[in-house]
Structures are given as C-alpha cells and as structure tokens.
Amino acid sequence: MSILHARQLDIGYGTTRIVQGLSFAPPTGKVTALIGPNGCGKSTLLKAFARILKPTQGELTLDGQAYASLSARELARQIAFLPQVLPVPEGVSVRQLVAYGRSPHNSLWGRLSGSDQSHVTQAMQRLELDLLADRALADLSGGQRQRAWLAMVLAQNAPVVLLDEPTTYLDISHQVELMDLMGELAAEGKTVITVLHDINQACRYADHLVVMHGGKLVADGAPGAVISAELMRQVFDVQVQVMQEPVAGTPMCLVEKSTRGTDQPL
Amino acid sequence: MGRSFAAAGIVLLGGGLFWLSLYSWSPFTITAADAWNGLVHQGSVGGNMAYIVAQLRVPRALCAALVGACLGLAGALMQGITRNRLASPSLFGVTAGAALGLALFSTGLVALPFAGGALLMTCLGGALAWITVFSLGGAWSPTTAQGRLVLAGVAVAALCAALTRLTVILVEAQAQSVLNWLAGSLANVGAAQVQLLWPCTLIGGLWALWCAPRLNLINLGEDAARSLGVGIASLRLQVFIASLLLVGASVCAVGPIGFVGLIAPNILRQFLGNDYRWLIPLSAALGAVIVLGADLLSRAVAFPVETPAGVVTALIGAPFFLFLARRAL
C-alpha cells in the first residue's frame, strides 16, 4: 500500500534528463532507501517527490490527488523534506528552527498553539537538543546542526518524510539513533524515504531498497531480494562478496576491489 | 522582553525627533508653544508661527517619517527575499530607476495625463531597474555570489542616474526644480506629499507584515521554505509589488534618499536576530527615525542654508555599507 505514486517520471534540468521513465510507489509504514552511484538521480527523484522540481513528463500523486492540484501548504502538511545542502541561517536559534517546522499547520502569522508547542518540545527531546535549544544555529557543530534540522522535519509531523543524506555530519552513534528513529517513524505509519550512501547501513535499517542507475530504476524490493554481487558490479562498479550480516541477518557487502574501467557498460 | 524595550525605545526616539523637527533650526523663531498650537490646533490658535508649523513643519515631519518607514520596509523586504544583507532599494538600483521614471514624467518626455501618473511612472522605472538587476545579478540562482547582485545594482543605478541627467539636460525649462528634487530633499514638501505617502505606506506596510512569516522561512533556504509550504513564486511577486509601491511613493514625494533601507534592518538584526515579524515593523520605525534625524541634521549643518536630507543619509550610509560589505562579501 502506498500514499505516494510516481508514474513514468522524466525529470531534468534544462535539456538534460536526469531521471527517465521512472515508476515507483514507496510502501507506507516502511523505510525506503534510495541507493545508487553519484549522479544517478536519487536526490533529483527525492526533490520531485518534495515538489522542489517539476517532472517534465509523467505523474505524481499523493493519496490519489495529482500534485498540481495541491497548494504549497496542503502539500507541506503531508510531505516533510530535509534537503541535502542546508544553509546556516544567521540569527536563528535551535528552538526557532524546530518551531518553523510547524508553519504548515499553524496560523499564517506563525503563532504556536499548545499542540504546536508540544510537537516542538517532543521533536527536540527526540533528537537530544534540549540543552542546545536556545543556542544560535550558527554556533553549533555540523552534526548538532543536522540534528536541529531533523527535529524541524520531525515537528512538521507529515505522513511522508523525505530525507536527503541525513546521516552526513553525524557521528556513528547519532547515525544509529537516526536510523532507529526512521524505523520508529515508519512504525507509526509514516512513509519514510531516504537517500543513503552506505549500502550496508541501507540494507541493515531499510525495509525497502530502490536501486537507481543512470536515471533509471534498476531494482526495487527488500534488501535480501535486491542485493547481489552481480548488481553491485553492474551498478557500482565494485567486486563484492555478499555475506549475511551477523547481527540482523541482512545482506552485507564486503568490497574486494573496484572494477571501474574493466567492465562492460550496462 | 528585550524586543519590546527596543520597540518602545525606537518609537519614543521617533516621537522625540518628530517633535524637535517641528520647531528646531527654522529660519524663523518658532517656540515649542507655537509647535504645540500648530500640531494640535492646526494653527488656528497661536498666530503666524503656529500657522507655519501647521502648514509647513507638520507635513514635512510627517513626510520624513513616512518616507523613512517606506524605505525601511522596502529594505527589510528585499533583504528577506534575496537572503542578502546588502539588499536595499538604493544599492539595487531601484531608487535610481524610480527617479528616472519620475524625471521622464516631470519633464514631460513621457506624458501620462491622469491622476497617479507620476506614481505609476516611478513604480515602472523602479520595476524595470529591479528586473534588470535581478536577472543580471542571478538573484534566484542558489549558487550566485552575494556581491554579484550588488555589482549589477550599482551598474544599473549609475546608468539610470546618467539617463536621468540626460533627460534633465534635454528639457532645460524645468531643469533646476528637477535637479533639486534629485538630491532627495524634504525642503519643499507639503500636504500633497503626505496625501500621496500615507496610503502607500499603509498598504505596503500591511502587505510587508503579511509576508513576514514567510520571509522567516525563506531564510532557511528556498528548498526548505518550499517544503514548509511557502509558494516561492507568489511570495517573490508580492515582495516585488509591495517594495515598488513603497519605494515609488517615497521617490515620488521627496526624491531618491539612499541607504535608509540598508541601514535600518541591519542595525535591528544586531539586537533582534532575524525574525521578520519584528524586523519588518521595527525597520519601518527605525527608518522613520533615521530620515527624521537626517532632515534635522540637514537643517543644522549649514544653518540657515538647507542641505538635502539625501546627502546626509548618504554621508552616514556609505561608510555603513562599506562596514557591512567587509563582513558580508
């Protein structure tokens, strides 16, 4: 079951097409990870889901409604998006940033109601930002800032959560906590889609993998069904051994060597 | 609350300067009592001096306050929508474009024979400059360096100023009055200018307030703003129209007065942070304070001869711009 549907999407900037003929429906209540080599169109696809980019062809629907029929605020109540590159806004505190996550829900003047406040507090607690609440974003470390942005996305409380490389800047324990948090959000019934670079992390924590290559979807399914040495060689140009991860039993790739340049093109 | 104190302080300061400007540095000897009679009784009591206050000083002080509010608001709006702290009507050439529009109108080169024609021409001039600067400067491209917009603005402002001079030279008959007006002076304003300014300031100000929460989200970057429900294209259009109305009205009334839109929001940022729901209304108030102060100074520096207020704001504003540019670029 899916709330989001993409049918025959073409997405591009100017005359270059980055994503071609892609159809895909991320499962509701699951964590979906988009993986693929640099420039394969994962971020572009995520931006199209967030309506930052408009597809040149094809159709996107949310709960059966075409994207074009939804207002910016309506869409923002349904879809939360964390961009890959985050600016450091001057003069904004962590609490303010998280509170901005409530803007699709509250009055146009941005005044927070009681329930808005509790969403903000909960989001900050969940990302362990209580002690940093009144610090300026510009004074924080990269990882702390990333957590503040994640809290903003959480406070938005949308049924669809899109995260573009959210583990960037996070240390390993915060990465694990973030992946667990994504699992919790999915368990609450949200559709979580994230771009990840670490294949083993994606296999371990995502319920569903989408593998992209050259703007096309090449495989789509549970990690165990998708990941194979053949796929890794074709998509990522690496020779790997696929093993069973000893803790969770998910697939794990051990890299032997790069096969770039020695390979037949796909 | 620090913010409320700041707000109260600025409003008090504005009120004080307004009161001072009713009777200080006048070529006539006007007392505080005359000023009171002129302000409260519209000069019906208190003789000639009170009458002068009611007819000349009150409109002049009102004009100064309204022009300052317009420019402060426009500066805050432009800084918000471009996320560029150097954005302001004068540095982005909008003031110069508006001045060119009005010069074309008042010299009769472009004839619009209906009421509001002057305001329309200033707004059109400003709009043309705005569009040129924003497309040359790559305002909406996320990778553009901050300085590029300013460079485009300075170039367009210089071009507009040259064209304005050319217009004035071509039509010699009104050259002197247009030249006076071009320096940005409050010396010759009256009730007509107040009549033009207050509705524009009110509409532009309310519109700016309406945009304020969305400008806060723009500050987080356009992708984040979009995903928080901001319709970027519509917001840009609204900011464009509101700023043009504000700048157009102020140029129409008193000529180009520079740097107010740059200074007011940037001073406030130091104390208030970046919340546009505070920055917008207080930029209006601080803009009013700056122009009232500049008008007072313009009368004081070479008393009893008047220096145009635009010269005073430029004298203060240019070093301020250099200081900001050193940090922002």
Q: Which residues of chain A does B228 touch, with a Cβ-Cβ cutoff of 8 Å?
A: 76, 100-101, 103-104, 156
B3 near A CB under 8 A: no
Q: Within an 8 Å CB–CB cutoff, is residue A64 touching chain B?
A: no
Interface size A-B, in CB pairs within 8 Å, comes to 75
Q: Exposed, middle or buried: residue A89 (CB in 10 Å: 0-12, 13-18, 19+)?
A: buried
B236 touches chain A (CB under 8 A): no
Whether A75 contacts chain B with CB within 8 A:
yes
Distance between CA atoms of B281 and B84, rounded to whole angstroms? 19
Per-residue pLDDT band at B185 (split at 50, 70, 90): confident
Over range A183-191, report the average pLDDT. Answer: 95
Number of domains in chain B: 1
pLDDT tens digits for range B94-108? 999 999 998 888 887
> What are the pLDDT digits (tens) for A215-247?
999 999 999 999 999 999 999 999 999 999 899
Identify whether B19 is part of a domain: no
Q: Please report, for the domain that includes residue B124, its CATH number.
A: 1.10.3470.10
- A262 & A137 share domain: no
pLDDT > 70 in chain B, percent? 98
- pLDDT tens digits along B240-281: 999 999 999 999 999 999 899 999 999 998 888 889 999 999
Q: State whether B226 and A50 contact (CB < 8 Å).
A: yes
Q: Give the contacts of A134 (CB within 8 A, at least 6 positions apart).
A: A93, A94, A95
The DSSP bridge pattern shows strands A31-35 and A208-213 to be parallel
A87 and chain B in contact, CB less than 8 A: yes
Query: How far apart are the C-alpha atoms of B243 and B87, rounded to whole Å?
Result: 12
The pLDDT of residue A36 is 93
Q: Are residues A118 and A128 in the same domain?
A: yes
- List, as own/partner pairs, every contact residues B52-55 make where C-beta atoms lie below 8 angstroms and the sequence separation is at least 24, other chains included: B52/B26, B52/B28, B53/B22, B53/B23, B55/B190, B55/B191
Among B53, B20, B87, B71, smallest CA distance to B290 is for: B71
- What percent of chain A lies above the pLDDT cut of 70? 98
Q: Is B5 on the interface with A (CB under 8 A)?
A: no
Average pLDDT over residues A158-175: 93
Q: How many domains does chain A have?
A: 2
Residue B292 domain-assigned (yes or no):
yes
Please tell me the predicted confidence (pLDDT) of residue A109. 80
Please choose, from the candidates B182, B151, B141, B190, the residue with its C-alpha nearest in 3D space to the C-alpha of residue B164: B182
Model confidence at A262, pLDDT cuts 50, 70, 90, reads low
CA distance A228 to chain B (A): 35
Helix (H, G, I), strand (E, B) or coil at A191: strand
What are residue A62's phi and psi, to 5 degrees?
Answer: -120, 115
Pair type for strands A57-62 and A4-13: antiparallel
A168 in the same domain as A39: yes
Residue B185 lies in a domain: yes
Question: Could you report the predicted ipTM of this complex, rounded to two decimals?
Answer: 0.89
Please name the residue of chain A whose CA is at the shortest distance from the CA of residue B83. Answer: A89
Is B48 contained in some domain? no
A105 to A111, A116, A126, B18: CA distances (angstroms): 10, 8, 20, 42
CB atoms within 10 A of CB A12: 17
For residues B271 and B252, give the distance between their C-alpha atoms in angstroms, rounded to a whole number. 32
Decide if A87 and B220 are in contact by the 8 Å CB cutoff.
Answer: yes
Q: What is the pLDDT of residues B19-74, one digit of tens each?
A: 998 888 877 788 888 888 888 888 788 788 888 888 888 999 999 999 999 999 99
Neighbours of B163 (CB within 10 A): 17
Q: Give the model's confidence band at B3: pLDDT under 50 very low, under 70 low, under 90 confident, else very high.
A: confident
Q: Does B223 touch chain A (CB under 8 A)?
A: yes
Kindly give, in sequence order, each residue whose CB lies less than 8 Å from that of residue A246, ignoring residues fewer than 6 positions away: none
Whether residue A52 and residue B273 make contact (CB cut-off 8 A), yes or no, is no
Does B268 reside within a domain? yes
Q: CATH code at A222?
A: 3.40.50.300
- Spatial CA neighbour of A113 closest among A172, A64, A165, A155: A155
* Interchain CB distance below 8 Å, B229 and A89: no
Taking CA–CA distances from B269, the nearest residue in chain A reads: A91
DSSP secondary structure of A120-162: HHHHHHHTT-GGGTTSBGGGS-HHHHHHHHHHHHHHH--SEEE
Amino acid at A186: A
Q: What is the pLDDT of residue B274?
A: 87
- Whether residues A180 and A55 share a domain: the answer is yes
- pLDDT above 70: residue A108: yes
DSSP β-ladder status, A16-24 and A4-13:
antiparallel
pLDDT band at B129; cut points 50, 70, 90: very high
Q: Which of A157-171, B200-214, B306-320 has the lowest mean pLDDT?
A: B306-320
Residue B250 domain flag: yes
- Residue A260's domain comprises 227-266
Residue A133 and residue A185 share a domain = yes
Residue from B228, B237, B269 to probe the interface with A (highest A Cβ count within 10 Å): B228
User: Comparing C-alpha atoms, which of B307, B304, B280, B305 is closest to residue B294?
Assistant: B307
Q: Which residue has the tokens 């789509």?
A: A220
Best B220, B266, B327 member to test A by mutation, with max A CBs in 10 Å, is: B220
Taking the CA of residue B192 and the nearest CA in chain A, the distance in Å comes to 35
> Could you tell me if A181 and A97 are in contact, meaning their C-beta atoms sit under 8 angstroms apart?
no
Closest chain B C-alpha to A92 CA, distance in angstroms: 6
On chain B, the residues whose CB falls within 8 A of the CB of A101 are 228
Asked if residue A52 and residue A181 are part of one domain, the reply reads: yes
Same domain, A233 and A245: yes
Higher pLDDT, B88 or B177: B88
Check if the beta carbon of residue B314 is closer than 8 Å to that of residue B290.
no
The tally of CA atoms less than 13 A away on the side-chain side of residue A86 is 28
Q: Which helix (H) or strand (E) holds A16?
A: strand A16-24
Window 73-102 of B, Cβ < 8 Å to A: 83
- Chain B residues with CB-CB distance to A195 below 8 A: none
Q: What is the DSSP string of B110-137?
A: S---STTHHHHHHHHHHHHHHHHHHHHT
Which residues in chain A are closer than 8 Å to B221, comparing Cβ atoms?
83, 85-87, 89
Cross-chain residue pair B228–A104, CB shorter than 8 Å: yes
Q: What pTM did the predictor assign? A: 0.91
Give the chain B residue nearest A102 (alpha carbons).
B228
Contact between B219 and A75 using a beta-carbon 8 Å cutoff: no
Residue B1 pLDDT more than 70? Answer: no
- Is the per-residue pLDDT at A40 higher than 60? yes
Question: What's the order of all strands across the beta sheet hosting A216-221?
Answer: A79-82, A160-164, A191-195, A31-35, A208-213, A216-221
Q: Do A260 and A131 lie in a common domain?
A: no
Strand, helix or coil for residue B196: helix
